[in-house]
Copies of this chain bind each other. A is one copy, B any other.
């Protein structure tokens, strides 16, 4: 794209290891690799969502070693050097430092968007417009711009962005005043009523120099570890440098270690549909409607059964007199879960871990 003006670079953080979609998700096939929405993986959807804006050459994916081959298979448009595999998981701060560092090697001046690989977003034209606005604003103001989603329910599973007044000329650009951790129900209801809090989408758009300053200030040890690997990017010594960088790198969350400590930031009020797909129930909200007010993906016969979320392939499901269940069938496992308890799927995988059932993890 020599000569083109690129709006910025996108770093897709794709090394996640969530267990909340067990039994469909497994260690070797985590959530971002699953075709949960739109018939393709969340990772590929994330890639396709930003590619029209920044081009494939404007995208860099940070994943984990055991997912690198599958990532390359899902994103054949990406040159091999744009898929970087962390040798070991060190939480999100190391990943962000690495991703922004490598992006600066590609284009030292470009703003950088850090994007989760495993969320669902609709209204993609709107999303790209707002992401482009965030990239431009981050660079122009030398700051970080987050995308905040107007809450529609008193959700206790998300972090929130507290905002101040909007700029009257740009009503969707808000001053961010605080990152707020997952609230209790009462606070979540107050946030919803108050109108000053937006859901934290986890999408952070940085001016590259501002990121470097913030990281140097809040996570200097991580910078010290990762810097040599960034310097070796594009050389034969990169893999070895990366292994050395991660060996002793602190494992910190970018939210806790950096974002929550910022004196200020900016927020763009999202006008697109967004879900973090944090559970089977969240997936059910986006999944196709089935007979009898059930949702999901299954061939069903339904007698007096409603509000169930089903992910069952290759067989008929007969429901009689059941409500509010999550049912997920794979060849080797069957989950039947009260929908309200779907966060407890993790306890199942914990038990499998303890009993050495690696075949099911």
Given the interface contacts A304-B341, A357-B316, does A329 sit within 8 Å of B332 by beta carbon? no
Say whether A333 contacts B320, CB under 8 Å.
Answer: no
A322 proximal to B (CB < 8 A): yes
A295 to chain B, nearest CB (A): 15
Say whether B303 contacts A320, CB under 8 Å.
Answer: no
A312 proximal to B (CB < 8 A): yes
Question: Which residues of A (307-361) have their CB < 8 Å from a CB of B?
Answer: 312, 314-322, 325, 327, 329-338, 340-342, 344-345, 347-348, 351-352, 357, 360
Task: A303-B344, A317-B333 are known; give 14 further A-B pairs, CB within 8 A.
Answer: A301-B351, A315-B331, A315-B333, A315-B334, A316-B332, A316-B334, A316-B352, A320-B335, A320-B338, A321-B338, A322-B325, A322-B338, A325-B336, A327-B334
Instruction: Report the Cα distance A314→B330, complex, angstroms.
Output: 11
Contacts of A357 in B (CB 8 A): 316
Say whether A327 contacts B318, CB under 8 Å.
Answer: no
A interface residues with partner B (beta carbon < 8 Å): 22-23, 301, 303-304, 312, 314-322, 325, 327, 329-338, 340-342, 344-345, 347-348, 351-352, 357, 360
> Nearest 6 A-B pairs (CB), nearest first?
A321-B338, A321-B341, A320-B337, A318-B348, A316-B333, A317-B334
Q: Which of A301, A340, A351 has the most CB of B within 10 A?
A: A301
Instruction: Report the Cα distance A341→B348, complex, angstroms.
Output: 28
Contacts of A333 in B (CB 8 A): 315-318
Instruction: Report the Cα distance A248→B248, complex, angstroms.
Output: 88
Instruction: Report the Cα distance A342→B320, complex, angstroms.
Output: 8
Say whether B335 contacts A318, CB under 8 Å.
Answer: yes
Instruction: Report the Cα distance A41→B360, complex, angstroms.
Output: 32
Q: Which of A331, A338, A351 has the most CB of B within 10 A?
A: A338
A330 to chain B, nearest CB (A): 8
Say whether B316 contacts A336, CB under 8 Å.
Answer: no
A321 to chain B, nearest CB (A): 3
A298 and chain B: residue at smallest CB distance: B334
**Interface residue from B325, B332, B340, B347 paired with A303 (Cβ < 8 Å):** B347
Contacts of A321 in B (CB 8 A): 337-338, 340-341, 344
A27 to chain B, nearest CB (A): 16
Say whether B327 contacts A329, CB under 8 Å.
Answer: no
Contacts of A303 in B (CB 8 A): 341, 344, 347-348
Instruction: Report the Cα distance A20→B321, complex, angstroms.
Output: 16
Say whether B336 contacts A320, CB under 8 Å.
Answer: yes
Say whether B336 contacts A322, CB under 8 Å.
Answer: yes
Given the interface contacts A316-B360, A351-B301, A360-B316, does A336 sit within 8 Å of B327 by beta carbon? yes
Instruction: Report the Cα distance A330→B303, complex, angstroms.
Output: 19
**Interface residue from B304, B317, B318, B336 paired with A318 (Cβ < 8 Å):** B336
A255 to chain B, nearest CB (A): 28
